[in-house]
Amino acid sequence: MMREKLEILSQMLYGFPYREYFKADTSTRLSIILSAEEYILGLENGRKRYIDEVASLSKAFAIAIPHDDAMAVKEEVGFHQAVKARLLKFDSTGRGRTDEEMETAIRQVIDRALVTDRVIDIFDAAGIKKPDISILSEEFLLEVRNMEHKNIAFEVLQKLLNDEIRARMKRNLVQSRTLMEMLEDSIRKYHNKVITAVEVIEELIQLGKEITKMDREPREMGLSEYEYAFYTAIADNQSARELMQKETLKELAVVLYQKVKQNTSIDWTIKESVRAKLKVIVKRTLRKYGYPPDMQALATETVLKQAEMIADELSRKNDPVIP
């Protein structure tokens, strides 16, 4: 069984010079593993077939040792297990990894970390720990676009964008929801082979630029981070944007934020009476500013959900301002 599984895996890698792995130095071995991963992903249903075959190989190998035939191929088995580990490293959404695990993983996949024997911190290597350079800066996005291993570049962007968007979920309901839908749509198209690795990288780079653009908007509008969150809550409606001027929506957002802030207590989310009172205040304010009647109910719920997200900080009367 062990020999059979090795033969199947060898056939799957036919045309790929994986045997160079066994005489290569550490840095070259890492590069070969990444290249093998991309090769497998290019095969029809390659990822699942390879993972299943390596799992079967590992079981057979564990039973066969310490037979001489098993000991003779232990390095080859190790190679297949390493490639399998890479294929399993990231799930489709980038969720479920600790920061330490992800920093280690990303450190391994950036091309520059593969051509040296010393440990390179990926974030230092990319220059993104400097206070004047964002993780989604033009320089960083360009560096990722030019990575040799496109599938790895996709994984890096996917993880970083996912983390960036999730950080915004604590402050801005509508914006983070919109961005996450865009990210998941690109990932879905890539996994369904609607677009190539190169194309999904371009889509994710554009999403990164969109996030940077959104981050500038509160400052350009003269709104605090919270005020802008309420602005996106009420502007997330085409008829409202068409009927009301941007300045009116902006003024309404500031008023709504102040009213929510004034009527927020630490336990308001669990006291139905307090929530009901706030709901009436929000509805009345929307009506006063001429918000489209048919959209007032939805807007009220969105505003309340936005308020719930930041309830703890609102109860302390904090109001962070975009620097």
Query: What are the DSSP calls for 12-26, one per residue?
Result: HTTTS-GGGGGGS-H
Give the global pTM. Answer: 0.60
Query: What pLDDT score was predicted for residue 312?
Result: 65
Amino acid identity, residue 148? E
- Sign, CA dihedral 234-224-210-153, equals negative
pLDDT at 37: 86
Judge whether 314 and 267 are in contact, CB under 8 Å: no
CA distances (Å), origin 115, targets 26, 111, 124: 9, 7, 16
- What pLDDT, on a 0 to 100 scale, did the predictor assign at position 128? 37
Q: What angle do CA 186, 187, 188 make, to 5 degrees?
A: 90
Residue where the block lists tokens 């077939």 = 49
- Joined tokens for residue 71: 């000991």
pLDDT by residue for the chain (323 residues), tens digit each? 989 999 999 999 999 998 888 888 877 787 888 888 888 888 888 888 999 998 888 888 888 878 888 888 888 888 888 888 888 865 444 444 444 444 444 444 433 333 333 333 333 433 334 333 355 677 777 777 777 777 777 877 888 888 888 888 888 889 999 999 999 999 889 888 888 888 888 898 889 888 888 888 899 999 998 899 999 988 887 878 877 888 889 999 999 988 888 876 655 555 677 778 888 888 999 988 888 888 888 888 888 888 887 776 665 554 444 43
Q: For the chain, what are the domain ranges?
A: 2-88, 99-221, 225-315
Say if residue 323 is preceded by a cis peptide, omega within 30 of 0.
no
pLDDT recorded at residue 9: 92
Question: Which two structure tokens, joined as six digits, stand for 68?
Answer: 């001489």
Contact 158, 94 (CB under 8 A): yes
Report the pLDDT value the prediction gives residue 254, as an integer from 0 to 100.
92
Burial 22-39 (b: 16+ CB within 10 A, else e): eeeeeeebbbbbbbbbbb
Chain-centroid distance of CA 213 in Å reads: 17
